[in-house]
Structure 1
């Protein structure tokens, strides 16, 4: 089920600058300037949505951290932790021109194999899907909204 989020309404919240013919965006969780790529823009817009609209705690959000999947090193986009500091919501961000396909869901599911979060989400900034995982039944259910902070 598609969740309708207007992430572009947060563009005025973003800090962007130009230096040496490159554009940079400030990541307020990692507290550093990053090259402004399309996927990074989606990641930062999603972050603003989580912080401003949903009330997520910035101290419980990790961005672009490494994880081991089987024996391979991978990086997730956003991982939100609950109050007990357990992984809660895994988010995969894609550039706006990247379609949200089965392959994107498989990617985030593969990352989740070592995390076992209750919620997984994928977005390209225009399309957003979120699901509640049921590990006992080996299934999931699409949600109509992003889950509240835990």
Structure 2
């Protein structure tokens, strides 16, 4: 699969450079140039989708945050907070070639055992799944679309 392949997300005017056959992109949130991998390509598009289409404030988005799970260091792809510093959205990004399977849902569920976020998203850039967690009833509900930031306030 081509590295900069089209995704099932709107295209964005990224600042992309090429050096020695590798592509780099200026990450607007981290304010630095990063190597584009297949997964990073999806993550960058999804961040733009969150901020441009869904109006999630850039200042409330954390990328590749660390967590401890059963004594092991893990990293979440995207974690979004509200203005009260409460976690509201956890996103797991995969490369477009990675199928969204039960294993991927299990991964984000394990991460959410630590974070306890009410809204989850899983994407490979081509398919997107959104899920609301009701911790009281211990149930989850799939959503047709990701709520706008204003809907979560």
**Are residue 6 (structure 1) and residue 8 (structure 2) matched?**
yes
2:87 maps to: 87
- In the alignment, structure 1 segments of 5+ residues that lack a partner are none
Check conservation: 1:39, 1:94, Cα contact below 8 A.
Answer: yes
> In the TM superposition, what is the alpha-carbon distance from 1:138 to its structure 2 partner?
1.5
Q: TM-score, normalising length from structure 1?
A: 0.92
2:126 maps to: 126
> In the TM superposition, what is the alpha-carbon distance from 1:6 to its structure 2 partner?
3.3
Q: Distance in 2 between matches of 1:48 and 1:88?
A: 17
2:30 maps to: 30
Q: State the secondary structure of the residue aligned to 1:23.
A: strand
> In the TM superposition, what is the alpha-carbon distance from 1:22 to its structure 2 partner?
1.4
2:136 maps to: 136
Check conservation: 2:8, 2:127, Cα contact below 8 A.
Answer: no
Q: Distance in 2 between matches of 1:10 and 1:78?
A: 19
Q: TM-score, normalising length from structure 2?
A: 0.90
Residues 71-82 of structure 1: matches in 2 within 5 Å? 71-82=71-82
Q: Distance in 2 between matches of 1:30 and 1:68?
A: 22
Superposed CA deviations along residues 59-88 of structure 1, whole A, max 9, x for unmatched, are: 000001111123111000000001111111
- In the alignment, structure 2 segments of 5+ residues that lack a partner are 1-6
Aligned residues: 144
2:116 maps to: 116
1:63 maps to: 63
Check conservation: 1:10, 1:48, Cα contact below 8 A.
Answer: no
Pairwise CA RMSD: 1.2
